């Protein structure tokens, strides 16, 4: 069963392998897709709960970096939430991989990781992620980050990258 | 901003010319056309970044990646694969071979220049971290 927050109440849109009506189908099709890539099923459930708590997204899940990469190309999500430490391909590699392909270079990306050091966050941002959040996380902070990255334009993303290049060069 | 020294390994001479035109002002670009030439170059000179194509006839740029990662003197060299190969399997194989970044052609020159500088900074942070 799948629920959708509509007109200030939760309604069932998908049950028994089909949509309950045309309005439900339309509701589902207009929902933005958020892909969560994390190898910890418990964390995945927490993220799904958090994301659905305040907003109305269709949440997709992958449990390692390679499966996540496959899902990005197959599902074309509107936003991807990525853990760093994962089997097969880590989160930093995944971010670089997506940014290095014109087809996915402007996909909104958020890292959500237990790695909290400033260096870890810097590597995430230098790899091309739009936002770096740390675990444990507040649902409101995650939802706010999703809203922010969904609003980022390709030009804004490019300006951020140029700024990073400049500020990091100044540190050399 | 320091001019980073880049070794470009690509069997297509035109690709090298295009790279020289687009990145030559910003980086010190050295180009070789084969993996054998690349190995000889790396035995003499350590660049800041290695940019490598994957397809070389019967050979593969991934072999050069593995060679670099196995070599104690070169193991930390940042590697960018810059290639026409764009499937998920290609990308996974590239990272498995030791590449740090994977950029699919055609590429935006400004984007590539930024990626080179950001990768350089990432490797510096990681090296500092491992001391």
> Residue B37 pLDDT more than 90?
yes
Minimum mean pLDDT range among A13-17, A50-54, A64-68 = A13-17
pLDDT of res. A13: 66
The residue that leads in pLDDT, A41 or A53, is: A41
Whether A7 and chain B come into contact, CB under 8 Å, resolves to no
Chain-centroid distance, C-alpha A3:
20
pLDDT of res. A168: 78
> Residue A10 pLDDT more than 70?
no
Q: What percent of chain A has pLDDT over 90?
A: 74
Whether B131 and chain A come into contact, CB under 8 Å, resolves to no
Whether B1 and chain A come into contact, CB under 8 Å, resolves to yes
pLDDT tens per residue across span A144-170: 999 999 999 999 999 999 999 988 776
The residue that leads in pLDDT, B108 or A20, is: B108
Distance, CA of B32 to CA of B30 (rounded, Å): 7
**Residues in chain B within 8 Å Cβ distance of A118:** none
Whether A123 and chain B come into contact, CB under 8 Å, resolves to yes
B49-52/B55-56 β-pairing: unpaired
Strand order in the sheet with A2-6: A2-6, A9-15, A18-19
Using only C-alpha atoms, chain B has a radius of gyration, in whole angstroms, of 14
What's the complex ipTM?
0.93
Pick from B64, B48, B20, B61: which is nearest to B119 by CA?
B48
Q: What is the mean pLDDT of chain A?
A: 89
Q: Is B106 in contact with A102 (Cβ distance < 8 A)?
A: yes
Q: For residue A46, give every residue at least 6 positions away whose Cβ sits within 8 Å of its Cβ, in sequence order, or none.
A: none
> Quick check: A117 and B128 in contact, CB under 8 A?
no
Q: For residue A171, give every residue at least 6 positions away whose Cβ sits within 8 Å of its Cβ, in sequence order, or none.
A: B121
Q: What is the mean pLDDT of residues B49-54?
A: 97
> Residue A121 pLDDT more than 90?
yes
The residue that leads in pLDDT, A24 or B24, is: B24
> Residue A7 pLDDT more than 50?
no
Whether A62 and chain B come into contact, CB under 8 Å, resolves to no
> Quick check: A165 and B2 in contact, CB under 8 A?
no
Minimum mean pLDDT range among A4-8, A18-22, B9-13, B124-128 = A4-8
Q: What is the mean pLDDT of residues A60-73?
A: 97
Which A residues, 131 through 170, put their C-beta within 8 Å of a C-beta on chain B?
158, 161-162, 164-165, 168-169
CA distances (Å), B17 to each of B13, B49, B52, in order? 6, 18, 15
pLDDT tens per residue across span B81-100: 999 999 999 999 999 999 99
Q: DSSP letters along A57-117, please?
A: EEEEEESSHHHHHHHHHHH--SEEEE-SS-SSS-HHHHHHHHHTSTTTTT--EEEEES--S
- B9 sits in which H/E element: strand B5-9
Q: At B114, list the tokens.
A: 């930024």
> Quick check: B61 and B83 in contact, CB under 8 A?
yes
Q: What percent of chain B has pLDDT over 70?
A: 97
Backbone angles phi, psi at A4, to 5 degrees: -135, 135
């Amino acid at each position: 069963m799948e629920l959708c927050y509509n007109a200030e109440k939760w309604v069932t849109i998908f049950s028994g392998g089909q949509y309950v009506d045309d309005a439900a189908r339309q509701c589902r099709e207009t929902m933005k897709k958020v892909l969560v890539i994390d190898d910890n099923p418990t964390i995945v459930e927490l993220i799904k709960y958090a994301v659905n708590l305040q907003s109305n997204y269709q949440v997709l899940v992958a449990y390692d970096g390679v499966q996540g990469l496959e899902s990005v190309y197959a599902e074309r999500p509107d936003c991807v939430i990525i853990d760093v430490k994962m089997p097969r391909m880590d989160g930093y590699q995944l971010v670089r991989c997506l940014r290095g392909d014109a087809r996915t270079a402007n996909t909104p990306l958020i890292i959500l990781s237990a790695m909290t050091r400033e260096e870890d966050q810097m590597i995430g941002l230098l790899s091309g992620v739009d936002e770096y959040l740390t675990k444990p996380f507040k649902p409101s902070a995650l939802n706010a980050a999703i809203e922010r990255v969904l609003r980022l334009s390709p030009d804004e993303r490019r300006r951020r990258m140029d700024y990073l290049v400049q500020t990091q060069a100044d540190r050399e | 901003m320091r001019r980073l020294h880049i070794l470009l390994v690509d069997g297509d001479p035109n690709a090298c010319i295009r790279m020289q035109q687009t990145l030559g002002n910003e980086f010190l670009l050295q180009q070789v056309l084969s993996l054998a030439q690349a190995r000889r170059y790396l035995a003499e000179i350590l660049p800041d970044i290695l940019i490598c194509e994957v397809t070389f006839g019967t050979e593969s740029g991934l072999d050069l990646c593995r060679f670099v990662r196995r070599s104690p003197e070169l193991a930390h060299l940042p590697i960018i694969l810059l290639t026409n190969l764009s499937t998920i399997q290609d990308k996974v194989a590239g990272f498995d071979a030791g590449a740090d970044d994977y950029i699919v052609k055609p590429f935006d020159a400004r984007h590539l220049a930024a990626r080179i500088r950001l990768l350089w900074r990432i490797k510096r942070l990681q090296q500092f971290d491992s001391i």
